[in-house]
Structure 1
Amino acid sequence: MTDEIESVYLGVEYLGVEIGKSNPLSKKTSVTFDDLAGMSFLVVQDTGPWQAIVENNIPDAAFLYQADLDAMSEISRNSKFPYFFSNLSLVSSATIERSDGGERVAVPIDDPRNRLEFYGSYLKGNRKLVQPLLKEINKIWPQN
């Protein structure tokens, strides 16, 4: 907030992990970043701040980055590598396609370091135009 800019809270993004059914962690109701230590993950390239968050908080993990979503889907369908999803990506066709097949279980990551808060900022002079849109985004923001 400044004299010219204000913000509206939109919601929180957090990660979960799709883990193969044969992995003991798939039986848990949630995991922490520390529970994921030493594992190798298939990861979509260019995940913004999430890249640093997972790299800095999952000890001794390996991250196999994929820039091409089609390649990511193909590798995930034909391998046992776990991969991340977010509450915002759960409804995307790419995430749904990767999840198809039922060989993995979606497990929430319950860790205080696993959250990004989003705000929509705008010039106060544009409040009447922008604020209704941001309030609608907040209403439909995925809660889980």
Structure 2
Amino acid sequence: MRDITSIYLGTENMSVNLPQNNPLANKKELSYQSLKGKTIISPDNIGLWRQIYEHEIPDGQFIYQTKSHEYSEILNYSILPYFTTNVTVMDDNWRLNLPGNRVNIPIKDESAHQKFYAVFLKQNKNRLMPLISSLQDQWAKVD
């Protein structure tokens, strides 16, 4: 195990996006508990976030979409809440296809703030540092 090392990349912070007329839209921050029983739309392949949503939001109803075009269409023609993170804005494919008429409210729960690390063999550090530095620079722009 001594041949492995890690470097902190950044923290991904979850927010919920709500229509402006939603009663929760005037809050500065929300908890997952405040979304109890809500129907929320989400991309299907969201990694660890899926488990967090399903565990932290009591009686939540989740509509998972596998195709990004269909996901964008539903978002733009519905009032369903959806989640984004500070990392979402780094990806133009996602950011540019999200509705602009929603209020973005941070989630305050500890599990809504996930730290990410690059883990690698020490012998590969010199080769990987340009990529790691680039990721850290990009992440710093959204933190």
TM-score normalised according to structure 2 size: 0.91
Q: In 2, distance between residues paired with 1:8 and 1:24?
A: 41
Shift of residue 13, structure 1, vs aligned partner: 1.0
Correspondence 1:76 to 2:56: no
Shift of residue 40, structure 1, vs aligned partner: 0.4
Instruction: Tell me the SS of whatever aligns to 2:95.
Output: helix
Percent identity over paired residues: 31
Contact preservation (8 Å) 1:20, 1:105: yes
Shift of residue 127, structure 1, vs aligned partner: 1.5
Correspondence 1:113 to 2:129: no
Q: In 2, distance between residues paired with 1:96 and 1:62?
A: 26
**Unmatched 5+ stretches in structure 1:** none
Shift of residue 97, structure 1, vs aligned partner: 1.7
Counterpart for residue 28 of structure 1:
27
**Unmatched 5+ stretches in structure 2:** none
Superposed CA offset, 1:78-136 (max 9, x none):
00100011111123232332223x2x111111111212211111211112111243133
Aligned residue pairs total 141
**What does residue range 1-144 of structure 1 map to in structure 2 within 5 Å?**
2-92=1-91, 93-100=93-100, 102=101, 104-141=102-139, 142-144=141-143
Contact preservation (8 Å) 2:87, 2:142: no
TM-score normalised according to structure 1 size: 0.90
Letter of the 1:111 partner, please give it.
D
Instruction: Tell me the SS of whatever aligns to 1:72.
Output: helix
